[in-house]
């Protein structure tokens, strides 16, 4: 079973790239972030033509998350992260597919730091941790995937000294990510590539992709019962090189049979 996450950076503007990648790689389940489209503008028909069912949580111009599946029905279990009734940003979507709970998230960027946006990011991370713990306590197999907007270690950022004041590399944010892992989650990509500089995002300017001056901010976390089934985890860098592509590359994992 192949599960992928991809910050598409505009699902309609990048639709040809998304459809090409789905056609070539055929992941079984996909988490998308940054749809940047209201619910009525989600390209359901185009995805259906490729054999993908979908649920989505859109928002005009900003945010937006979706879950796609070509291997089974999608049973939505949660829309929006609990813990703040005033939070109307479309950043979290959760569903059960073939006996696995799939949580798709787009964590706030948090810049500038310090400031209200950074404070919101930390509060959102706290809510995520509480909900993630509740999923762990339920004892069901869970995948938490998406754009976390955090570089966990210096291995996850090109020239870390340049990012010390950024909200994506702030000590508080890195500590929040580490605390999340301490609940028992496995960072799939890092577990398969320990000690490697590996990136999932490259800015559009200054030839960042060509220089491989990137960041690892897209993560897939596995609950303890799924971690032993992890066969592989990779970044599909070739997609980042395509014309009119997102500044992120898809990340995927392969799970073996039980």
Catalytic pick among 6, 52, 92, 106? 106
Strand partners of residue 33: 7, 65
Dmax (CA) of the chain: 46
- The secondary structure element, H or E, covering residue 25 is helix 15-25
112 cis-preceded (ω within 30 degrees of 0):
yes
Strand partners of residue 6: 32
Phi-psi region of 98 (alpha: psi -120 to 50; beta: other; left: phi over 0): left
* Residue 247 token pair: 């500044």
88 assigned to active site: no
114 cis-preceded (ω within 30 degrees of 0):
yes
* Residue 75 token pair: 């049973």
225 assigned to active site: no
Contact criterion met (CB below 8 Å) for 121 and 173: yes
- Name every residue whose Cβ is closer than 8 Å to that of residue 207 and which is 6 or more positions away in sequence: none
Phi-psi region of 64 (alpha: psi -120 to 50; beta: other; left: phi over 0): left
Contact criterion met (CB below 8 Å) for 4 and 250: yes
Residue with tokens 């988490």: 31
- The secondary structure element, H or E, covering residue 135 is helix 116-138
Catalytic pick among 28, 147, 156, 187? 147
Mind telling me the catalytic residues? 106, 147
């Amino acid at each position: 079973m192949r599960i992928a996450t991809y910050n598409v950076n505009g699902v309609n503007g990048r639709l040809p790239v998304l459809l090409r990648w789905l056609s070539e790689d055929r992941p079984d389940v996909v988490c998308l972030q940054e749809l940047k489209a209201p619910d009525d503008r989600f390209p359901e028909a185009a995805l259906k033509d490729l054999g993908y069912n979908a649920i989505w949580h859109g928002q005009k111009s900003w945010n937006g998350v979706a879950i796609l599946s070509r291997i089974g029905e999608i049973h939505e279990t949660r829309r929006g992260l609990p813990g703040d009734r005033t939070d109307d940003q479309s950043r979290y979507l959760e569903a059960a597919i073939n006996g696995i709970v799939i949580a798709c998230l787009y964590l706030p960027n948090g810049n500038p730091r310090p400031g209200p946006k950074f404070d919101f990011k930390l509060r959102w991370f706290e809510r995520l941790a509480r909900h993630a713990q509740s999923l762990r306590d339920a004892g069901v197999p869970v995948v938490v995937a998406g754009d976390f907007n955090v570089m966990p270690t210096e291995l996850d950022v090109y020239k870390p000294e340049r990012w010390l004041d950024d909200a994506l590399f702030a000590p508080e944010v890195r500590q929040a990510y580490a605390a999340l892992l301490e609940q028992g989650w496995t960072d799939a990509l890092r577990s398969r590539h320990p000690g490697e500089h590996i990136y999932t995002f490259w800015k559009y300017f200054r030839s960042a992709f060509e220089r491989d001056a990137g960041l690892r901010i897209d993560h897939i976390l596995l609950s303890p019962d799924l971690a032993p089934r992890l066969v592989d985890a990779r970044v599909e860098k070739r997609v980042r090189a395509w014309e009119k592509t997102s500044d992120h590359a898809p990340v995927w994992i392969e799970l073996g049979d039980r």
